[in-house]
């Protein structure tokens, strides 16, 4: 099924099928149990990625009412978020390059994009907790400047 889905993304302005598969597997490895799956999507136009869960309204209600009493690992196990990447987006294409040339920066980028997507989906109780990882990404990105 994954190959059928990624077939639609092959084009001059997109990562190739094999690149999408490699990047998806790499992101899944880096995010670990925080994501149920990493897949490519054609639904996004201007965004690099999005997080989806089965029952978004129920998930948001859970975050507002119950998540403070559940560990972060357990929260991800309950939510089972799927991370969908846009293989045509410049950030995702650059992440594919970083996977080979600067994997530390690539991993920071993958984690930050996932965190941003969780905030965008309304699945983070306190977005201020993301500032440390954002600052780590900025430090690494600015190392050579």
Task: Return d(Cα 134, Cα 119) in angstroms, integer.
Answer: 13
Task: Return d(Cα 65, Cα 15) in angstroms, integer.
Answer: 40
Question: What percent of the chain has a predicted confidence (pLDDT) above 90?
Answer: 63
pLDDT on residue 73: 84
Please name which of 118, 108, 33, 123 lies closest in space to residue 73, comparing C-alpha atoms: 33
Domain hosting residue 118, numbered range:
2-141
Question: Residues near 140 by Cβ (< 8 Å), separated by ≥ 6?
Answer: 104, 105, 108
Segment 79-137, tens digit of pLDDT: 899 999 999 999 999 999 999 999 999 999 999 999 999 999 988 888 888 898 999 99
Helix (H) or strand (E) holding 42: none
Tokens of 112: 């930050």
Exposure string of 86-119, with b = 16+ CB inside 10 Å and e = fewer, is: bbbbeebbebbebbeebeebbbbbbbbbbbbbbe
Q: Return the CATH number at 24.
A: 1.20.120.790
pLDDT on residue 1: 40
- Residue 4 pLDDT more than 70? no
Task: Return d(Cα 78, Cα 63) in angstroms, integer.
Answer: 11
Segment 41-84, tens digit of pLDDT: 999 999 999 999 988 888 888 878 887 788 888 888 888 999 99
pTM of the complete model: 0.86
Domains contained in the chain, number? 1
pLDDT on residue 109: 98
């Amino acid at each position: 099924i994954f190959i059928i889905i990624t077939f639609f993304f092959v084009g001059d302005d997109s990562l190739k099928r094999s690149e999408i598969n490699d990047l998806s597997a790499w992101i899944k490895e880096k995010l670990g149990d925080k994501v149920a799956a990493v897949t490519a999507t054609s639904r996004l136009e201007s965004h690099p990625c999005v997080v989806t869960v089965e029952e978004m309204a129920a998930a948001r209600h859970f975050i507002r009412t119950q998540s403070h009493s559940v560990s972060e690992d357990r929260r991800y196990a309950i939510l089972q978020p799927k991370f969908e990447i846009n293989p045509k987006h410049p950030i995702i294409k650059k992440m594919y390059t970083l996977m080979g040339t600067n994997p530390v920066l690539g991993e920071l980028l993958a984690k930050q994009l996932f965190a941003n997507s969780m905030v965008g989906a309304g699945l983070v109780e306190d977005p201020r907790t993301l500032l440390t990882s954002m600052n780590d990404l900025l430090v690494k990105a600015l190392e050579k400047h």
